[in-house]
Amino acid sequence: MKPADNIDTSQVKGNASPEVKLALLNSLAQPGNVSHSTGKPFRGFKAEFVSRMQLAEASVLSKAEEPNKLEGRTVFDVIVDEDMFNEVGTMHGGCLAMIIEICSPMPIYVLGASTGAYSTFGVQQALNIVFHSPAVPGDKLRIVCTTFTLGSRARSGRCEVWNVTRHRLVASAVYTNMVPTESSKL
């Protein structure tokens, strides 16, 4: 995905505003940060994974258990490629963890930006993953992330990775995301 003002956000399902969808797409399309050691642009493997992901949905929904409360929801799709493998020919757990780590702040942003509460992505504080089944080359994965809580400093949620090709759960995760203080950003 490349950042552009002319991205057609109507292709992304969900009730989030076009502006929120565009912000998500543009955040994924960032070319990378500057390396602290060399001062040169750094693309890295995160950018490689992100370039393959498709944002399918961005929504704000009523919680099923608490209808008076809202939750953010994002859905991403990605195809498993050979460079995502481990030595036994299935998707590497570290690769899957990276994809979950990339996707998990997105529903937090959607909920915060849509409700006017917050419009920052924050950083991961904790990520707990359970691996359920392997994914192999060509499998289409759907990454579904939702929020649990949205506080002023700590936010939490869950992420499920479904194998659309084989109709099974690949991994599930719970995470805590936080907004770092200015002094901790250094």
Say whether pLDDT at 3 is over 50.
Answer: no
32 — pLDDT class (breaks 50, 70, 90): low
| E strands in 123-183 | 123-131, 140-150, 154-163, 168-178
pLDDT in tens, 34-46: 555 666 665 667 7
Mean pLDDT (whole number) for 5-33: 81
| pTM metric for this prediction | 0.86
The CATH architecture assigned to 12-31+42-185 reads Roll (3.10)
The residue whose two tokens read 């109709």 is 167
99 — pLDDT class (breaks 50, 70, 90): very high
CA distance 9 to 20: 9
CA distance 48 to 41: 14
Q: Smallest Cα–Cα separation from 83: which of 45, 33, 131, 53? A: 45
- 87-92: which pairs have CB atoms within 8 A and are 24 or more residues apart? 89/136, 89/137, 90/134, 90/135, 90/136, 91/134, 91/135, 91/136, 91/139, 91/170
Mean pLDDT (whole number) for 52-62: 94
pLDDT in tens, 63-82: 988 889 999 999 999 999 98
Say whether pLDDT at 18 is over 70.
Answer: yes
Structure tokens at 181: 């203080």
CA distance 25 to 20: 9
pLDDT in tens, 116-172: 876 677 788 899 999 999 999 999 999 999 999 887 778 899 999 999 999 999 999
186 — pLDDT class (breaks 50, 70, 90): low
Q: Smallest Cα–Cα separation from 107: which of 174, 165, 44? A: 174
* CB atoms inside a 10 Å sphere around CB 101: 19
